[in-house]
Amino acid sequence: MIETKVYVGLNDSDTLRQEHETSRYLKILKYVCASYHVPFSVSLAQGGYMHENGNYTEEQTLVLSFIDVKKEIIDEIARDLCTFFHQESVLITEDRVRTYFVHS
């Protein structure tokens, strides 16, 4: 199976600062994922980003994790989040993983 992660920075692409509370971004993110009917996990990370002009920015980042979700759907979700969060881009990574469930 493929695990895909989508990294969405919370700093606005124009102002270079976080414009809203993290909880507001999280609510939007959950709504977007629910509208596509895909299972996901989300975590909050601290990160840094080097802009094309050489400026370095630190920001909070939401990291979405998907297991075995079609690439086309993930790309649509990523584009939606770019728009809603006013981002130039988001980072997507893919890794092959072995998954299993443990039951009681």
Q: What is the mean pLDDT of residues 88-94?
A: 94
pLDDT tens across 42-89, in order? Answer: 999 998 888 778 888 899 999 999 999 999 999 999 999 999 999 989
Alpha carbon distance 98, 85 (integer Å): 32
CATH for 2-96 is 3.30.70.120
The full set of domain ranges for the chain reads 2-96
Check residue 88 and give its pLDDT. 87
